[in-house]
């Protein structure tokens, strides 16, 4: 089964490819030659994920899933949330985003936060959602060079290391994206047995 992952982010594609059963061929927007950026104009993670999966299904008639992830920091009333990728204004500038977040948290005692991933799956024109959450805290400076996004400043609950210091296998097992994708994969295995 060919399944489109509505993303241009090759880091995400690599992360997810490791989780998929062998009968599913994962195809990214880049693989299909789709260069346009699908607008994320919704004010929720669910809404943005659905916009992306629906776009590919409607325009290319291919089964598709898309995700949207946000980092929600308690002391900042859930910021950056749906604006996580563009928190500092520049689209996907991870270091600027982390610097802004660390600055905004400088005088805060409560550093608890959670990552939330929502996946929207559109196989036949009907949308299903899968969610994954991981709780933890924002540390005071960047640590580690693995991962992407806010990984160097997020330490998951029960670990001494940040997401950027942990091996990918562990991050996939305990992380928000891994949890959401395992629900997606269970659904695909149960309802769309691969041949």
pLDDT in tens, 103-141: 999 999 999 999 999 999 999 889 999 999 999 999 999
Pairing of strands 127-138, 112-122: antiparallel
The structural domain count of the chain equals 1
pLDDT 10s digits, 153-168 = 999 999 999 999 999 8
Measured in whole angstroms, the distance separating CA 20 from the mean position of its chain's CA atoms is 16
- In a domain, residue 195? The reply is no
To which residue do tokens 């290319």 refer? Answer: 60
Residue 104 half-sphere exposure, CB side, CA atoms within 13 Å? 17
- In a domain, residue 37? The reply is yes
- In a domain, residue 95? The reply is yes
Q: Name the band, by pLDDT with cuts 50, 70 and 90, for residue 194.
A: very low
Pairing of strands 79-81, 64-73: antiparallel
For residues 173 and 71, the model is more confident at 71
Q: Tell me, what CATH number does 75's domain have?
A: 3.90.950.10
pLDDT of residue 192: 59
Q: Name the band, by pLDDT with cuts 50, 70 and 90, for residue 61.
A: very high
Residue 133 parent element (H or E): strand 127-138
Measured in whole angstroms, the distance separating CA 120 from the mean position of its chain's CA atoms is 11
- In a domain, residue 193? The reply is no
pLDDT beyond 60 at 92: yes
pLDDT of residue 74: 97
Closest CA to 175 of 136, 141, 143, 144: 136
pLDDT, mean of residues 76-80: 96
State the CB neighbour count (10 A cutoff) for residue 134: 20
* C-beta of residue 191 within 8 angstroms of C-beta of residue 21: no
Mean pLDDT of the chain: 90
pLDDT 10s digits, 28-47 = 999 999 888 888 899 999 99
- In a domain, residue 102? The reply is yes
Query: Of 31, 54, 67, 68, which residue is the catalytic one?
Result: 68
- In a domain, residue 177? The reply is yes
pLDDT of residue 25: 84
For residues 192 and 33, the model is more confident at 33
Q: Name the band, by pLDDT with cuts 50, 70 and 90, for residue 188.
A: confident
User: Is 145 one of the catalytic residues?
Assistant: no
- In a domain, residue 192? The reply is no
State the CB neighbour count (10 A cutoff) for residue 165: 18
Tokens read off for 122: 């559109």
List the domain range (segments joined by +) for residue 30. Answer: 2-187
To which residue do tokens 């959401």 refer? Answer: 180
């Amino acid at each position: 089964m060919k399944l489109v992952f509505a993303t241009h982010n090759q880091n995400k594609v690599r992360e997810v490819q490791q989780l998929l059963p062998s009968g599913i061929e994962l195809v990214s927007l880049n693989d299909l030659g789709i260069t346009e950026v699908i607008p994320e104009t919704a004010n929720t993670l669910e809404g943005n994920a659905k916009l992306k999966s629906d776009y590919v299904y409607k325009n290319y008639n291919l089964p598709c899933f898309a995700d949207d992830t946000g980092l929600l920091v308690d002391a900042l009333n859930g910021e950056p949330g749906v604006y996580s990728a563009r928190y500092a204004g520049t689209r996907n500038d991870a270091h600027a985003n982390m610097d802004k977040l660390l600055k905004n948290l400088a005088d805060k005692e409560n550093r608890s936060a959670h990552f939330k991933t929502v996946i929207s799956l559109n196989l036949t024109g009907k949308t299903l959602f899968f969610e994954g959450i991981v709780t933890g805290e924002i540390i005071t400076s960047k640590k580690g060079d693995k991962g992407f996004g806010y990984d160097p400043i997020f330490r998951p609950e029960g670990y001494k290391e940040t997401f950027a210091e942990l091996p990918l296998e562990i991050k996939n097992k305990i992380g928000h994206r891994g949890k959401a994708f395992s629900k997606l994969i269970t659904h695909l295995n149960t309802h769309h047995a691969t041949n």
